Structure 1
């Protein structure tokens, strides 16, 4: 879409001046974001990072270090010889008066006896001013086979139902550690370690929800991920959650833990008692 307002013209001009960081994002994602997997049978293990085989005797507790590329692998029992991983990653930057959130689609292809192939492309940019005005630079988002396509250009900010808002807001699983955020976002707890929420969701939710801010600053990403669709449970069992925070209790299965709290409540147990709320073996 052609820029129509002064703000859109300025954003389009600044966006065209942003450096290409595809190679930097791939180099970081290969080590820190993608899963390192090996497929094992009784007679061999295939390292999907370098494609080479090694003896299954090197596997200990479903982990192994490839003797060819020195990569620490998670071992899965399978006869598979190929693998594919897709994820969204992001980087935050400050450009002039804008907080810029750059989102990338990363696809990795793995095959036995060959080196992996990585493909990355920038698909979405949010340009956000301190007063809340925002413009979107993105590729066309089709729901068909092709997904994101076309060139990066000014797009309409979709305002409407919950579902359509997601056309302009994707959840990046990881943010590059060199990301830079404005101080107001850092005070909210939003930084490169953000998990469980997209940047826009966090920026719009946290100022109006002290509970979400507490969970984010405590790095309780498992509860933040549960927060958006089950906010009523967070509100209902907030005293029990605070007990978990004080006791540094990590919840491995959040859905099961809330079912467990409902069971405790059914039998009139004390939900303010760490003995019940923080079981050693859920």
Structure 2
């Protein structure tokens, strides 16, 4: 798709100037994003599929004495193993937060050093307002979500499930962020939250900035998945934090708070919202909520019977 405005023209131009993958990034992808094996044949030694080294070893997990890769030794008759994986490089370019998506395809052969191939699938460009632009390959029709026309150019594309899914795969640990994101509290990558959502929240949501600066990684991750719930119970979160309460299990805590809300309890009471034993009070209110549900259902059934 041709660029429709100056912003898209700028992004497409910068996309073509991005650096290729470094040797360190390629090696990391090979050793971390796929299952690494050393094949052990019926008669012979174990063979590391990464470097081709052979040595005497039994089945199980170990490290290759030559390249140091952690491998699983498997007894097999296969001579060729094919693997593929997606991974992401997170970087910053002229005020844009960029998530670059790559596909690695590698064929392992007995006695040969692995020689993987890499294809850039596309990239997410996030501006300072949290708006995203996608540059990527053209998708093809087929049964698989990640079917791409590898001969197509990297152009402005509509966002879709394939790009969104790939951007949530492996992330190279050396990450570069924009000055704005760093100012808004970014210290480390929050695994369990989609990278695009994470950066958008840090750029646009003051609550996300507050949680990140306070070191509340669990609550920040929950906000990325359930922003409306965090907005609704933000005052309750502040009450719990002022009481010195650490929300270690946000999923259970929010479930508990929602039950308190349905029952009309005071959500500004530190005693209620900052329990000493969250699991115990959660189970207690689950039982109360069930009894209340049964009581309400019986009342509905009684009224319906009277009408009949």
TM bin, normalised by shorter chain, reads 0.5 to 0.7
**Structure 1 residues 155, 131: CA separation in 2 closer, same or farther (over 3 Å shift)?**
same
Q: Please report the TM-score for the alignment, with normalisation by the length of structure 2.
A: 0.59
- In the aligned structure 2, how far is the partner of 1:51 from the partner of 1:98? 41
Post-superposition offset of 1:130? 0.7
SS in structure 2 at match of 1:26: helix
Cross-structure match for 1:48: 49
Q: 1:163-214: CA deviations, max 9, x gaps?
A: xx4244233433334421124434677667443333113234674886xx67
Q: How many residue pairs get matched?
A: 242
- In the aligned structure 2, how far is the partner of 1:94 from the partner of 1:275? 42
Q: Please report the TM-score for the alignment, with normalisation by the length of structure 1.
A: 0.64
Q: 1:96-154: CA deviations, max 9, x gaps?
A: 23222211111222122222120111111122211233322111123526822211011
Cross-structure match for 1:155: 157
SS in structure 2 at match of 1:38: strand
- In the aligned structure 1, how far is the partner of 2:276 from the partner of 2:41? 48
Mapping of residues 108-257 of structure 1, within 5 Å: 108-144=106-142, 147-149=147-149, 150-156=152-158, 158=159, 165-169=160-164, 170-186=166-182, 193-204=189-200, 207=205, 228=225, 242-243=247-248
CA contact (8 A) 2:42 2:75 kept: no
Q: How much is the aligned-residue C-alpha RMSD, in angstroms?
A: 4.5
- Bigger mean CA deviation after superposition, 73-82 or 101-110: 73-82
- In the aligned structure 2, how far is the partner of 1:188 from the partner of 1:41? 55
Cross-structure match for 2:234: none
Task: Provide structure 2 residue ranges, at least 5 long, that are not aligned to the other structure.
Answer: 230-236, 241-245, 253-274, 282-308
Cross-structure match for 1:162: none
Cross-structure match for 2:61: 63
- In the aligned structure 2, how far is the partner of 1:147 from the partner of 1:112? 29
- In the aligned structure 1, how far is the partner of 2:77 from the partner of 2:185? 41
SS in structure 2 at match of 1:88: strand
**Structure 1 residues 41, 273: CA separation in 2 closer, same or farther (over 3 Å shift)?**
farther
Cross-structure match for 2:91: 93
Post-superposition offset of 1:79? 0.8
Cross-structure match for 1:266: none
Larger radius of gyration: 2
**Structure 1 residues 70, 91: CA separation in 2 closer, same or farther (over 3 Å shift)?**
closer
CA contact (8 A) 1:99 1:181 kept: yes
Cross-structure match for 1:75: 72
- In the aligned structure 2, how far is the partner of 1:218 from the partner of 1:87? 31
Post-superposition offset of 1:5? 1.0
